[in-house]
Structure 1
Amino acid sequence: MTASSRGSKAAASLIRSSRHPRVCSDCIKSISQTASLARSRPYSAAAAALKTDTRTITQPEIKQAPPVSSTSSEYITQAGVILSRPPILTRPQTAFEKAFFFYQKRLNERLALPFTRYFYFKKDTPADIDWKLKAKDRGGVAAKEIGDYQAYGAESWNDELLVGDKKSDPRSVREALLKDSEMRTIEGQKPSEVVEGIKVEKPLARVTEADRARDVKRLDRALDRTLYLAVKKEDGKWGFPAGSLVGRENLHQAAERVLVQTAGMNMNTWIVGHAPISHFIAHPWFDKDDSSKVKAPGQKTFFMKGRIMAGQADLKGNALGVKDFRWLTKQELAKVFHSNYYAQVKNALQDN
């Protein structure tokens, strides 16, 4: 007799002898059947004893699912583009910056070794003659834009400008450099016979024709500021280009499509990154009589950052019904945008 059959018989005898058994009648019957099987099939008794109960557990039936609150029908997800033209020029210097940079130039003259003319110019050459003429105009100073300051003279300690002195102004510095860049030669042995060379072309002014004409549709204006593309939509409100997502588009793909449908193909642009830099939420309008009924859905617009490298916006035949466009600075956007719209996007805009 195997160990399993002996154990089954012992368990059955204990159950029968117990005055108050704690096992139900079905379990007693199952153990008795297992013991009888062990006598006839001792090798399969162990496997039969390990079988689990195969009775199915019925789940409670839910006749009606509880309502799930969803706001998907109340809002429309949109992708927008904050397209910007970065500054082309550095911003104008403050009075402190002008004085500081000019002081650094004079300090450099005090710390540097004296200029050795014959190391750079061979004696009695046209370049040497030109150097003598220009150094004489500067009072013998090697530097071209620091005035008549002698770094190794008795007044070398006096290297700061007085109040109101224009030598630190960038325009004065530019004029001094342009004057020094003109090549001059001498005909014959007389220093008075000076032949003026070709005039050097001056750099363009910081203020362009578009600035003077106040043309807000041109990109060659406010060269030291960041310009943003603002469009006038069908409802007459100004904002950034935006449109609803189509199909399985992500924000990056939708932003590229919206920009083309709004401003045309005549622009070389770049959508920076795949994450939005700002968002705007317009809440839905509900029916006055039934507050649960949406009269006009709201909008959740996520703006992607974009850069324009070349080209210009062209609204001819645009698919989003845009009526007008402007290239505006941050301060100018505050004047044309709705206060609520501007308050939600202003932190994503550059002050410069």
Structure 2
Amino acid sequence: MASSRRGGQAISALFKAILPLQRRTYSAEAAAAASSSPQDSASSSSTSPPATEPDYRIRAGLLLSRPPLLVRDPTPFESAFYLYQKRLNERLSSSFRRKVYFKPDTTLDLDWALQLRERKGTAARDIGFYQGGKGANGYGAATAWNDEVTLDDPDAKTLTDPNLLRERIISDADLRVSEDGERLPEADRIHVERPQPRKTKADETNDTQRLDRKMDRTLYLVVKAADGTWSFPTADVRTDENLHETATRALEWAAGIDMNTWVVGRVPVAHIVRDLTPTEKEAYNSEKTFLIKGRIMAGQANLKDNTLGVSAFQWLTKDELAVHLPKHYYASVKNAMPER
């Protein structure tokens, strides 16, 4: 055991003597500082070529997104399949025991009896008039197995439309009988509160600065730079920063601190390379940008006192980003974004 340990230590020492210490820098400034360090120069081999400054610069940005708040509308096939499954369940499940759930001659019992007559004996409220588990007149008939809605059925659209289906379910909760057991007219019924519409005012006005738009899609924050181009909040990587730290700083400098955000991970989800024309101030031939994924949980972007020269911001879907972002930019990031 001791000989094996000594052998491992000898091999480790040999590798340290042969292989010099490698340091990885994220920015051009760090690389230049490392190449001019006396300690590194002394430890480098005499046969190694002199270190040179990189001809590219590294930037990091935040791919900040707001996830979908609503499920998407079902497709026509999904709506038809949902109706088929509901009718199948109506046929196979046990019959509804009225006396188990309602005390006889109470308001709820009378209300249920009224609803059942309106639905022509069908217990389920969202499958239309259907002779579920029994058949015509309560005895096995051919219609008992008719689970599917045909294309020429006049009620097909009504039964599969999500908005009409939602209204039928909600209206079924409206009380139709008074406390005295009398049937209430439509104007006197107590209606339950309806949910908010799926389309908001921001959708109607196409206000891309609002977060309450396209609530069944993912929205991404993009900012408009001084040159008029749209991109995700991005900044140069400092010598003492990691990529995720730069991305967080870029968001604060571009869109303020009024947002409660969460950086999902420290590994980039997209990589963008752009060619540059060297100038007297910067001799870079290219620019490499790494994007870190983030989520917004509350708040809103605020461009007041931003230090990156941002003039506008938008919350856009993936389809809208394809129109606003430069082609090479969008091509590099589109695979990092889900379809929704």
Q: Same fold (TM over 0.5)?
A: yes
Alignment of 1:186-335 (within 5 A): 186=178, 196-286=188-278, 295-335=283-323
Q: Which of 175, 179, 182 is the matching residue for 2:167?
A: 175
Deviations 1:3-34 (A, max 9, x none): xxxxxxxxxxxxxxxxxxxxxxxxxxxxxxxx
Q: Which residue of 1 aligns with 2:29?
A: none
Q: Distance in 1 between matches of 2:221 and 2:70?
A: 19
Q: Which residue of 1 aligns with 2:35?
A: none
Tell me the SS of whatever aligns to 1:285: coil
Q: Which residue of 1 aligns with 2:55?
A: 74
CA deviation after TM superposition for structure 1 residue 336, in Å: 1.1
What is the one-letter code of the residue matched to 1:87?
A: P
Gaps of 5+ in 2: 1-45, 136-140
Moved more, 192-201 or 155-164: 192-201
CA deviation after TM superposition for structure 1 residue 255, in Å: 1.4
What is the one-letter code of the residue matched to 2:159?
A: K
What is the one-letter code of the residue matched to 1:141?
A: T
Q: Distance in 2 between matches of 1:192 and 1:260?
A: 59
Kindly tell me the number of residue pairs found equivalent between the two proteins. Answer: 285
- Could you tell me whether the CA contact under 8 Å between 1:121 and 1:128 is conserved in 2? yes
CA deviation after TM superposition for structure 1 residue 296, in Å: 4.5
Moved more, 342-351 or 183-192: 183-192
Alignment of 1:22-101 (within 5 A): 67-68=49-50, 70=52, 72-101=53-82
Q: Distance in 2 between matches of 1:294 and 1:137?
A: 78
- Could you tell me whether the CA contact under 8 Å between 1:78 and 1:301 is conserved in 2? yes
Gaps of 5+ in 1: 1-63, 288-292
Q: Give the direction of change, closer, same or farther, for the CA distance of 1:183–1:228 in structure 2 (3 Å limit).
A: same
Q: Distance in 2 between matches of 1:211 and 1:194?
A: 33
Q: Give the direction of change, closer, same or farther, for the CA distance of 1:188–1:266 in structure 2 (3 Å limit).
A: closer
Tell me the SS of whatever aligns to 1:321: coil
Q: Distance in 1 between matches of 2:184 and 2:251?
A: 65
Q: Give the direction of change, closer, same or farther, for the CA distance of 1:194–1:89 in structure 2 (3 Å limit).
A: closer
TM-score, structure 1 length as denominator? 0.76
1:138 equivalenced with 2:112 (yes/no): no
Q: Distance in 1 between matches of 2:228 and 2:89?
A: 58
Moved more, 293-302 or 228-237: 293-302
Tell me the SS of whatever aligns to 1:185: coil
1:113 equivalenced with 2:105 (yes/no): no
- Could you tell me whether the CA contact under 8 Å between 1:73 and 1:297 is conserved in 2? no
Q: Distance in 1 between matches of 2:184 and 2:67?
A: 50
Q: Distance in 2 between matches of 1:139 and 1:250?
A: 68
Moved more, 178-187 or 261-270: 178-187
Q: Distance in 1 between matches of 2:307 and 2:100?
A: 68
Q: Which residue of 2 aligns with 1:344?
A: 332
- Could you tell me whether the CA contact under 8 Å between 1:272 and 1:307 is conserved in 2? yes
Q: Distance in 2 between matches of 1:190 and 1:76?
A: 79
Q: Which residue of 2 aligns with 1:149?
A: 130
Q: Distance in 1 between matches of 2:290 and 2:183?
A: 72
Q: Percent identity?
A: 47
User: Which structure has the larger Rg over C-alpha atoms?
Assistant: 1
Q: Which residue of 2 aligns with 1:9?
A: none
